[in-house]
Amino acid sequence: MSRICPVTGKKTRAGRSYSLRGIAKKKKGIGLKITGKTHRRFRPNLKTKRLWVPEEKRFITLRLSTSALRTIDKNGIGAVIHKMRKEGQRV
């Protein structure tokens, strides 16, 4: 199961983590220096949710991001599923 939200399309992104040393100039120091950079991943906040669809009178289980849950609260599960099916996703 891939880490992609079917509603928003959010997926894992690559980035970097920086190690710092020194005292910030704001605190009268010489400034922060980067001593190391390592690769890291930014993962979407996915939750497995079981949602009731009143139009179909059944439950569906989706792995959604938390922002997708807010979208469903705002637009309704029926409208979101209709849009997903229109885009060619199997629900």
Residue 7 lies in a domain: no
Residue 91 lies in a domain: no
- pTM, two decimal places: 0.78
**Alpha helices by DSSP H, the chain:** 66-75, 77-86
What is the per-residue pLDDT across 6-49, written as a single tens digit (0 to 9) for each? 999 999 999 999 999 999 999 999 999 999 999 999 999 999 99
What is the per-residue pLDDT across 39-89, written as a single tens digit (0 to 9) for each? 999 999 999 999 999 999 999 999 999 999 999 999 999 999 999 999 999
Residue 61 sits at φ, ψ, to 5 deg, of -110, 125
Q: Which of 58, 56, 46, 50 is nearest to 7 (CA)?
A: 46
Q: Structural domain tally of the chain?
A: 1
Domain of residue 65 covers: 13-86
pLDDT attached to residue 91: 87
Residue 60 lies in a domain: yes
Q: Which residue has the tokens 């509603």?
A: 7
Q: What is the CATH number of the domain that holds 80?
A: 2.30.170.40
Asked if the model's pLDDT at residue 1 lies above 80, the reply is: no
